[in-house]
Amino acid sequence: MTTPLTDTELDRLNHADDALAAELLLPFIERAPQVAELVAQHRPFASPDAIARSIQTAIQTLPEDDLFSLFRAHPELAPPTPETMTRASQEEQGRLGLDAPDAALTARFTQLNTEYQTRFGFPFILALHRMSGVSEVLQVFEDRLKRTRDAEIKQAVAEIASVSAARVTKAFGEAGHR
C-alpha cells in the first residue's frame, strides 16, 4: 500500500512553481498534463477534497477536442499490453484481474472494447474502484453500450472525476480529507 501523503505534501503542492505543481498533480489524472496544468492554476488547495473538486471542474470545462483527447488517453479494459498503462491503471485493473485475464475473458473484453470504440469514438471509461468484480464490470459495460453518445460523454466525465478523486484519497489517505 502506498504511504499516504501528508499536509506537508499538500503545502509543497501549494507552494510549488506551476511546472512542479502540475507534475505533482499528474498522477491523479490519467495521462493528462493539460488538465494537471489547469488544476495547478487553482492553488492553493485547502484540502485533498479541494484538489479532487478542482480536477472535476477542470475536466467538465474542457473544450470538446481536449475532452476527447483526455478520453483517448485512458486505457481499454483488459488491454493486450497492460504494461503500457500507468501504474495507477495497472493497480486498478489488476485488483480485478483485468491485467491478465483468461482467454475467454480477453476475447469478451476485446469484443466489448471494439464495439464501444466503434460506437462512441473513445475507450470505455469506468471507475473500477467502485466495482466489486469482473461480472459487475461486464454488466455495466454491456448496459452502457445501449446508451446515447451524449449520455456516454457525460458518464465518461463523471467516471474520470471519480477515478481522480479516488486517487487523491489513496494518496492522502482518508484522514487527509476535511
Same domain, 107 and 145: yes
Cα–Cα distance between 38 and 66 in angstroms, integer? Answer: 12
Same domain, 19 and 47: yes
- Whether residue 135 is predicted with pLDDT greater than 60 in this model: the reply is yes
Kindly state whether residue 43 falls inside one of the protein's structural domains.
Answer: yes
Kindly state whether residue 1 falls inside one of the protein's structural domains.
Answer: no
Domain CATH for 109:
1.10.3330.10
Kindly state whether residue 84 falls inside one of the protein's structural domains.
Answer: yes
**DSSP string over 21-43:** HHHHHGGGSTT-HHHHHHHHTTP
Which of left, alpha, beta for 52 (phi over 0: left; psi -120 to 50: alpha)?
A: alpha
- Whether residue 35 is predicted with pLDDT greater than 70 in this model: the reply is yes
Question: Is the model more confident about 6 or about 164?
Answer: 164
Helix axes 103-120, 149-172, angle to 10 degrees: 120
**DSSP string over 40-78:** HTTPPPSSHHHHHHHHHHHHHTS-HHHHHHHHHTSPPSS
Q: How confident is the model at residue 5 (pLDDT cuts 50, 70, 90)?
A: low
- Whether residue 143 is predicted with pLDDT greater than 60 in this model: the reply is yes
Same domain, 101 and 150: yes
Domain that holds residue 147: 75-159
Query: What pLDDT was estimated at residue 4?
Result: 56
* Total number of domains constituting the chain: 2
